[in-house]
Chains A and B, each alone.
Chain A
Amino acid sequence: MAISLTELWVILGCGAITVLSRALPFVFVKQMTMPSWLINFLTFVPITIMTALCCQSLFVANPGHLATLNVANCLAAIPATLAGVLTKSLLMVVVIGIMAMAVLRYFSIGG
């Protein structure tokens, strides 16, 4: 159980940075009336951010060159998506996704 001075500063500093990024927008939104273009912009944030987060695991970055596909993740995404279409249950998507990935790894498919 040891903590160095640097580690302490990193935890406190980064903690302050993350809590401010998260909480300050709540203060601003509560105090101000938002212009309609901003509200319109924000209605697209959920779908765009979730799509981008998915892309982060489906593409592999090759700096300076075009990205390639993360083959294993893309393959496992197929049964996971199907599970979503069939059951509309988040739990089923996650369970089927994990099982699909375990099978892919067992047969060493997709790297």
Chain B
Amino acid sequence: MNPSLTFKSGVRDVLPTVFGYIGVGLAFGIVAHTSHLSLLVVAGMSFIVYAGSAQFIITSMLLLHDPLSGIFISTFLVNSRMILMSTSLAQYFRHESLFKNLLIGSLVTDETFALAMNKQNKTKGKLSFAWQSGANLVAYLVWGFATVIGAMLGGLIADPTRFGFDFALTAMFIGLVYLQLISDRHLGISLQLYVMAFVALVYYLAIGVMSQNFALLAATVAGCLFGMGMKKWR
């Protein structure tokens, strides 16, 4: 990853993360197919809802004929971490127009957020509309088409996990968190390691008593407060 902030470098920087999208996207398409969702519904979910893990949850709730309100609340909870990520990312785009901010905001994901945080370590804290849009658009299109292709292949691929593709997403986050750790000079490595250990501990304890999505939020917020405290008092 170099410091260039053009649309083209956005497209190039996002390519390694595409593996994760393809693997999980195909998996979602296959799950949706076996849950008797039509291609139109799969495409609608991926291109309009565009919510990764929330799409799996929506699919299973549709299958169980859960009420609309329940589906809406779950979607909000699973995606509430987006509020934190967007608030964090938006600080880099305050100089851009409101319209451009809305365009970037509409397509932010876990992955493009993490990528942008890695990128700004290389550019002295700068991001551009062109770069972010390049990364966002590729991620959006790859996700959408991967899920539709997965739904079309449906019955053909019996077990995509056999080839390890389900691990792509985890590997991607491991890579992104490692690159974040070594390149965020503002916080420094030792402080970040303490924060990471604290987040892991809170998450580990929390999933025993609450849902994974709540645990994710609780661990994130607790980790941020812990980090603020350590930075201030040590």
CB pair A77 B174 closer than 8 Å: yes
CB pair B174 A80 closer than 8 Å: yes
CB pair B54 A102 closer than 8 Å: no
**One of B38, B86, B167 near A98 (C-beta < 8 A):** B167
Given A14-B49, A53-B110, A61-B212, is A97 in contact with B170 using a C-beta cutoff of 8 Å?
yes
Interface set of B (CB-CB < 8 Å, partner A): 1, 15-17, 19-20, 23, 37-41, 44-45, 48-51, 54, 58, 62, 68, 71-72, 75-76, 79-91, 93-94, 98, 101-102, 104-108, 110, 113-114, 117, 161-182, 184, 186-187, 192, 195-196, 199-200, 203-205, 207-209, 212, 215-216, 219-220, 223-225, 227-228, 231
From 54 to 111 in chain A, residues with beta carbon under 8 angstroms from any chain B beta carbon are 54-59, 61-67, 73, 76-77, 80-81, 84-85, 88-91, 93-105
CB pair B175 A84 closer than 8 Å: yes
**One of B1, B72, B87, B186 near A28 (C-beta < 8 A):** B87
CB pair A84 B179 closer than 8 Å: yes
B135 to chain A, nearest CB (A): 12
Interface set of A (CB-CB < 8 Å, partner B): 1-3, 6-15, 17-19, 21-30, 34, 37, 39-59, 61-67, 73, 76-77, 80-81, 84-85, 88-91, 93-105
